[in-house]
Chain A
Amino acid sequence: MVELVVYVWDSLPLVLQLGLKIGAIILPLLAAVAYYTLAERKVIAYMHVRIGPNRVGPRGLLQPIADAVKLMFKEMIIPTNADRYLFVIAPVLALAPALGAWAVIPFTDTLVLADIDASLLYVLALTSMGVYGVVIAGWASNSKYAFLGAMRSAAQIVAYEIAMGFALVGVLMAAGSLNLREIVLAQSGGIHQWYFLPLFPLFIVYLISGVAETNRSPFDVAEGESEIVAGFHVDYSGMGFAVFFLAEYANMILISALTVIMFLGGWQAPLPFAPFTWIPAIGWFFIKLAGVAFLFLWFRATFPRYRYDQIMRLGWKVFIPVTLVWIVVIGVARFFTPVGYWFA
């Protein structure tokens, strides 16, 4: 039976094989996005001592399906004076990088679609392109609110991308590799070897910058309801709105996955012996992923929105200096102190 499956798989053309592999990543991801939205509503509801959605299906479990169907059948209105092509293409530009970055994410030691050498750079480059969707949407809508949202978002993303990039420089200094799989392997040996301990400031900076990059609360000035209605996607309806929504949640899951890979040991068990090894590697990956993804929801239920000048101050005057100092600390500690092995 197994031989037959292997034989059929090998006889498929390469393009079809790749297509199937991509589908095997994208489809579960989209399902995860759908249920992440439900998890968000439920988690925030419980934190507010409410029940949350509970009408569609048992305990509200079919709510995301109902939402998706509703959005698909709604009319997508294009404003009269909007730039038609850019208006339609903007949601696609927001979603494509969020999905494309998953090509290099290693789920386990062997389970990775494209095991390329510069995968860390690839991820950085693709996530830096997500801002185009927001900026183009804001401009093409030809609306003041949308435009203000786009401007805020562009300034914020550019600021936090630098801090994020520097945090990753620390990781690649410690791991000595740009390959995400090798970065995880460099953290093997148990929880004390995971990079969140020696690189603790970078871990915090990366996590908070990740929240800011995805325009999530408390950094969601780009769509601040009370100030600029809904920000850059105020003029979108139906599928256009749904795709922006998909992109935001896919990005959150992506940032969670990257945090797990870079700082929390990827697919590795906390301690390399039973009972921790009873859970398979991919199980650990998803457990950690869910843990970080939960933080995003927790933040939203806990913190009030930052003021805009506070966001800029935090990004430029706190995070960037912290990362620069810690990069020096890594270099010195690695070569001139007895705990150097810890930073490698």
Chain B
Amino acid sequence: MTFLQFIFYLFAAILIVSSLLVVTVRNPVRSALFLVLAFFSAACLWLTLEAEFLAIALVLVYVGAVMVLFLFVIMMLDIDIAKMRAGFTNYLPLGLIVAVLMAGELGLVMFSKEFSAESLPRPAGQIAEYSNTKALGSLVYTDYVFAFELAAVILLVAIVAAIALTLRRRPVTRYQAPEQQVKVRKEDRVRLVTLPTRPEEDA
């Protein structure tokens, strides 16, 4: 077993165990953290395929941003484990359908000739100056530029929609106007008054 194989089996084992724990652990926060571990192990596996841009982007986007927001929401939930267990039988049929579908899809990939190890040999190691990032960039911005721009526009629409859905201005709430706050000068707020320093001496 070479060192690379050892690394592969190590990260693959961590990935599988942590993905199992995501669905079996009772505490949702821990479950989300195991999902982080799963993403991270997957990124390490991609690194062994010399796909360093995708691997680091996975960590950057999913671990660094998406899961932080997930945790943000999950941590604010009032966790009642007994109540969550109660819905188990209700969701079981739906879960089973999804599981069977996913297993079928995996089986299609694994047992078809198209994706077998013989028809898709491991690509040869790249030359020294080869840059994964550069190759991906030139593909995305030349051959697939329309698809790429389309995806960008869809995401932009999603952002606008999300903001529009959550933007509720209640008339009773009073807001600060920072542009007016920074315009304030000393003369507007401070009034200097000259007072006699000592009481008038009377008689």
Within 8 A of B (CB), among A151-207: 151, 154-155, 157-158, 161, 178
B69 part of interface (Cβ distance < 8 Å): yes
A310 contacts B65, CB within 8 Å? no
Q: How far is the CA of A136 from the CA of B132 in the complex (A)?
A: 34
B14 part of interface (Cβ distance < 8 Å): no
B64 part of interface (Cβ distance < 8 Å): yes
Distance between A318 CB and nearest chain B CB, rounded to angstroms: 10
Q: Which residues of chain B are within 8 angstroms of A157 by Cβ–Cβ distance? A: 68
B21 part of interface (Cβ distance < 8 Å): no
Q: Which residues of chain A are within 8 angstroms of B63 by Cβ–Cβ distance? A: 125, 128-129
Which of B36, B56, B59, B76 has most A Cβ within 10 Å? Answer: B56
User: Among A115-123, A251-259, A286-294, which stretch is in contact with chain B?
Assistant: A115-123
Binary flags per residue of B60-81, CB closer than 8 Å to A gives 1, else 0: 1001110011011001100000
A139 contacts B29, CB within 8 Å? yes
Q: How far is the CA of A154 from the CA of B36 in the complex (A)?
A: 16
Of the candidates B30, B36, B65, B72, the one whose C-beta lies within 8 Å of that of A86 is: B30
Determine the main DSSP class of A at the interface with B: helix
Q: How far is the CA of A132 from the CA of B37 in the complex (A)?
A: 12
A124 part of interface (Cβ distance < 8 Å): yes
B30 contacts A121, CB within 8 Å? no
Of the candidates B60, B131, B133, the one whose C-beta lies within 8 Å of that of A125 is: B60
A151 contacts B72, CB within 8 Å? yes
B56 contacts A122, CB within 8 Å? yes
B75 contacts A147, CB within 8 Å? yes
Q: Which residues of chain B are within 8 angstroms of A154 by Cβ–Cβ distance? A: 68, 71-72
Of the candidates A125, A155, A309, the one whose C-beta lies within 8 Å of that of B64 is: A125
For B72, give the chain A residue with the smallest CB separation: A154
A131 contacts B68, CB within 8 Å? yes
Within 8 A of B (CB), among A80-134: 83, 86, 116-118, 121-122, 124-126, 128-129, 131-132
A262 part of interface (Cβ distance < 8 Å): no
B65 contacts A116, CB within 8 Å? no
Distance between B169 CB and nearest chain A CB, rounded to angstroms: 15
B131 contacts A117, CB within 8 Å? yes
Binary flags per residue of A42-53, CB closer than 8 Å to B gives 1, else 0: 000000000000
For A179, give the chain B residue with the smallest CB separation: B131
A136-B33 in contact given A118-B132, A128-B60, A129-B63 (Cβ < 8 Å):
yes
Q: Which residues of chain B are within 8 angstroms of A178 by Cβ–Cβ distance? A: 131, 133
For B69, give the chain A residue with the smallest CB separation: A158
Q: Which residues of chain A are within 8 angstroms of B27 by Cβ–Cβ distance? A: 83
A135 contacts B52, CB within 8 Å? no
Q: How far is the CA of A310 from the CA of B63 in the complex (A)?
A: 27
Q: Which residues of chain A are within 8 angstroms of B72 by Cβ–Cβ distance? A: 135, 151, 154-155
Q: How far is the CA of A178 from the CA of B52 in the complex (A)?
A: 12
Distance between A161 CB and nearest chain B CB, rounded to angstroms: 7
B176 part of interface (Cβ distance < 8 Å): yes
Distance between A111 CB and nearest chain B CB, rounded to angstroms: 21
Q: How far is the CA of A161 from the CA of B66 in the complex (A)?
A: 13
Q: Which residues of chain B are within 8 angstroms of A117 by Cβ–Cβ distance? A: 52, 131-133
A128-B52 in contact given A139-B75, A158-B69, A313-B178 (Cβ < 8 Å):
no
- Interface residues of B, Cβ cutoff 8 Å to A: 27, 29-30, 33, 36, 52-53, 56-57, 59-60, 63-65, 68-69, 71-72, 75-76, 131-133, 176, 178
- Interface residues of A, Cβ cutoff 8 Å to B: 83, 86, 116-118, 121-122, 124-126, 128-129, 131-132, 135-136, 139, 147, 150-151, 154-155, 157-158, 161, 178, 309-310, 313
Can you pick out 24 interface pairs between chain A and chain B where the beta carbons lie within 8 Å of each other? A83-B27, A83-B29, A86-B33, A116-B52, A117-B52, A117-B133, A122-B56, A124-B56, A124-B60, A125-B60, A125-B64, A128-B60, A129-B63, A131-B68, A132-B36, A132-B68, A135-B75, A136-B33, A139-B71, A154-B68, A157-B68, A158-B68, A161-B64, A309-B176
Apart from A128-B59, A158-B69: 8 A-B pairs, beta carbons within 8 A = A121-B56, A128-B63, A132-B71, A135-B71, A147-B75, A151-B75, A154-B71, A309-B176
